[in-house]
């Protein structure tokens, strides 16, 4: 009898039948366990079946992932990933619109599973989805599910983003640049473009040619925070991949488009709280912007330059406005020294400021 640590007690479901409560020996081949489950329901061709979780993402169980099964798990007997991929691919290429839509809905859900994704991609399924997008004949729900499935499949890293065609990029960019487009399509299009930029230098160049910063900023002025988040994420991706000698130029463009004011008025001061992902994207944008100021920040001040001294004095006044006058010269000098250190200046800088500070 196998040790208790090798036994997992689970329930397995099959439509129209009572669930089987079984003990799975983790040392036993998964194919043998599936065969026994099929025999329990008098199902032939056990090689055409697989086990999936009934809850959550409903992932397929493989020899590699079976160790994650816990006592009390609810599983489902389902058609194998290969069989499911083949059937969905056939339905997607059918002429019936309703059948194709239902297939794309199911595909969008199954594509998150790496086991299924591998089988579907091996059958040239990804190329089929790309052609559907490039054709420009899909709209609404059908297009949204197509884009969802495409992004899920690509996120597994099985296929390189470099294989994406120029016509596909143009079509996706077109959805972002359109003044009126379905929210679900816009969201997925922004996400796909972000992945292209982050995962391929050559695609960054293509996307940068198709997408304008002005159009992305326009998407920040909508009421949908999810769209705003994806737009900021794409701006960050473009910023990050822009060659260093051109980043200052992009920062200037963002400044000319009043990005800071738009973020303040339409996101931070909006009527809803800023969600965690949006906060993260705003932080990334802030870091990328501040990084451009590093060289200027590290430039030493000329203590003999009256204009520079006036700016530093004004900075301290704004930062500590309202503080009472400390009194005597030595006490004032000590307070100024403490203030400038709190603002991040070095000891040598502080000495220069204090020596030249107006009395």
In this structure, what CATH number is given to the domain that contains residue 75? 3.10.20.90
* Residue that is last in its domain, among 159, 193, 225: 159
Is the domain of 53 the same as that of 86?
no
Give the pLDDT of residue 324: 55
Is the domain of 312 the same as that of 335?
yes
**Band (336; pLDDT cuts 50, 70, 90):** confident
Write out pLDDT tens, residues 207-225. Answer: 999 998 888 999 999 989 9
Q: Report the candidate in 225, 231, 227, 235 with the shortest Cα–Cα distance to residue 274.
A: 225
Q: Where are the alpha helices (DSSP H) in the chain?
A: 30-40, 81-92, 97-110, 114-122, 125-135, 140-154, 166-177, 183-199, 201-210, 213-218, 225-241, 244-256, 259-263, 276-291, 294-298, 306-319, 329-342, 347-356
Write out pLDDT tens, residues 267-324. Answer: 988 767 899 999 999 999 999 888 877 666 667 777 777 887 788 788 888 887 655 5
| Cα 176 from Cα 211, distance rounded (Å) | 8
**Band (88; pLDDT cuts 50, 70, 90):** very high
Is 164 a member of any domain? no
Is 14 a member of any domain? yes
The number of distinct structural domains making up the chain is 4
| Cα 26 from Cα 2, distance rounded (Å) | 9
Is 173 a member of any domain? no
Give the pLDDT of residue 359: 46
Write out pLDDT tens, residues 133-165. Answer: 998 877 899 999 999 999 999 999 999 999 999
Write out pLDDT tens, residues 155-206. Answer: 999 999 999 999 999 999 999 998 788 999 999 999 999 999 999 888 999 9
Is 243 a member of any domain? yes
Write out pLDDT tens, residues 96-136. Answer: 889 999 999 999 999 999 999 999 999 999 999 999 999 88
The domain of 125 spans 81-159
Is the domain of 100 the same as that of 124?
yes
* Residue that is last in its domain, among 79, 112, 133: 79
The pLDDT of residue 3 is above 60: no
Is 177 a member of any domain? no
* Residue that is last in its domain, among 159, 192, 219: 159
Give the pLDDT of residue 2: 56
| Cα 260 from Cα 285, distance rounded (Å) | 10
Q: What percent of the chain has pLDDT over 90?
A: 62
The pLDDT of residue 325 is above 70: no
Is the domain of 315 the same as that of 255?
no
């Amino acid at each position: 009898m196998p040790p208790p640590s090798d036994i997992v007690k689970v329930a397995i479901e099959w439509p129209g039948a009572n669930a089987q409560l079984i003990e799975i020996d983790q040392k036993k081949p998964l194919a043998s366990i599936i065969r026994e489950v099929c025999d329990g329901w008098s199902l032939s061709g056990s090689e055409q079946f697989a086990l999936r979780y009934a809850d959550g993402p409903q992932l397929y169980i493989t020899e590699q992932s079976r160790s994650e099964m816990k006592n009390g798990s609810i599983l489902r007997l389902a058609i194998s990933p290969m069989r499911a991929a083949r059937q969905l691919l056939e339905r997607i290429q059918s002429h019936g619109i309703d059948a194709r839509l239902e297939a794309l809905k199911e595909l969008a859900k199954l594509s998150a599973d790496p086991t299924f994704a591998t089988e579907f991609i091996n059958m040239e399924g990804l190329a089929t989805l790309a052609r559907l997008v490039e054709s420009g004949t899909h709209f609404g729900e059908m297009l949204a599910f197509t884009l969802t499935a495409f992004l899920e499949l690509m996120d597994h890293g099985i296929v390189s983003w470099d294989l994406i065609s120029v016509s596909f990029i143009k079509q996706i960019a077109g959805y972002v640049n359109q003044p009126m487009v379905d929210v679900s399509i816009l969201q997925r299009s922004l996400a796909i473009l972000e992945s292209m930029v982050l995962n391929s230098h050559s695609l960054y160049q293509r996307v940068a040619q198709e997408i304008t910063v002005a159009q992305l900023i326009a998407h920040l002025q909508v009421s949908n925070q999810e769209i705003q988040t994806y737009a900021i994420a794409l701006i960050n991706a473009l910023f990050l991949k822009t060659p260093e000698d051109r980043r200052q130029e992009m920062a200037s463009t963002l400044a000319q488009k009043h990005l800071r004011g738009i973020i303040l008025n339409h996101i931070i001061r909006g009527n809803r709280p800023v969600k965690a992902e949006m906060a993260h994207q705003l932080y990334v944008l802030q870091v990328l912007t501040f990084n451009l100021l590093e060289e200027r920040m590290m430039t030493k001040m000329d203590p003999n330059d009256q204009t520079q001294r006036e700016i530093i004095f004004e900075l301290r006044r704004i930062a500590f406005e309202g503080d009472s006058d400390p009194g005597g010269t030595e006490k004032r000098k000590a307070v100024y020294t403490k203030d400038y250190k709190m603002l991040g200046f070095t000891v040598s800088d502080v000495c220069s400021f204090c020596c030249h500070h107006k009395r």
